[in-house]
A and B are shown apart, each in its own frame.
Chain A
Amino acid sequence: MLTCKEIAFILASKEEISLFKKTELRMHLLMCKHCSNYNKQLNFLEKGVKKLFKVKADVDTSKLENLKKEIIAKIPKTKDEN
């Protein structure tokens, strides 16, 4: 039997587990309120982080284009260009 501690690790680390353990995990989540709340918290957290990254990554395309141009200008020159 998996303990709550083990369940918590599996849920947060996204560890790959056997089909047998997966079934056990699902059963555990149905019965154990703490683990099921913990799982809900994790889902909320992951969604929140995803949303946060999206908000942060909402940058002006013109800024990005400028940055790309600057970097392209710095590409080392070679002889074998046609």
Chain B
Amino acid sequence: MFTYKQNINYNFIMSDIVYKNFAKIEFVQKLVSLNHSAIEEVVRAYTEHLFKASLGLGFSEVESTELVQNVWSTFFDVLPKFKGNSHIRTFLFGILYNKSKELKREKAKINKHEPIDGIMEERFDENGNWKNHIVDPERFMVGSQTLEIIEKCLEALPLTQKMAFCLKEIDDHGTNEICKILEVTSTNLGVLLFRAKNRLRECIEIKIQD
């Protein structure tokens, strides 16, 4: 646990430096000309963010892995056409947003069975053993009751609202960047957040009363 926390702090300090480096014109030119090491730097910097964002959007680990791979392969395809009028991270998360929409549509078509079955399937390997460690019980006790409710309610939110929330809470995306990713005005972003929070609030109030 300790090393994990250290990691986060380290990443937090680094991300600002990385962000500024990636905004330099020379770097963008390298990217557009498909310079291998430049692309590799971007992959190293943002794969984790993308993965965590897609988990935050409610996709499973397996789905998130596919989604992130999908985002990068699209990114590689369209990179030569990148104009550099927004930050590369904004561009990347815009792709994530569109790919998430596609995946959600696909899932809605196919996935009509009980979702918990699929989740439980993924918990075990071919031998029927637990794949992941089980979260330590104390942390579970403290967090689960309300978090479980929040998670359930969050699931019911439309993707755009979830994404707005997710981008704000997970990374240090500023309001302007979020607007660009979601292709909305700042007024609309306010409305999105307002709706998202109130949907959650209503939903939690109902669940607590049960």
Contacts and interface: CB of A to CB of B under 8 A. Distances in A.
Given A48-B146, A57-B170, A13 B194 contact: yes
Contacts of A33: none
Interface string B22-49: 0000000000011111011001100110
A3 B145 CA distance: 34
Nearest to A63: B61
A4 interface: no
A51 B147 contact: yes
Given A45-B204, A61-B7, A12 B36 contact: no
Contacts of B40: 72, 75
B103 interface: no
A2 interface: no
Contacts of B51: 59, 64, 67
Contact of A55 (B44, B73, B143): B143
Given A42-B201, A45-B197, A52 B150 contact: yes
A71 interface: yes
Contacts, number: 107
B57 to A, nearest CB: 10
Given A71-B69, A76-B34, A49 B43 contact: no
Contact of A70 (B69, B143, B151): B69
Contacts of A77: 36
Interface residues of A, number: 37
Interface in A22-80: 41-42, 45-46, 48-53, 55-61, 63-64, 67-68, 70-72, 74-78, 80
B198 A68 contact: no
15 contacts: A8-B198, A12-B194, A12-B197, A46-B197, A48-B147, A48-B150, A49-B200, A52-B150, A52-B154, A53-B166, A57-B170, A67-B47, A67-B51, A68-B44, A71-B43
Given A49-B150, A49-B165, 12 more contacts: A13-B193, A45-B200, A45-B201, A45-B204, A49-B169, A52-B154, A56-B55, A56-B56, A71-B43, A76-B76, A77-B36, A78-B35
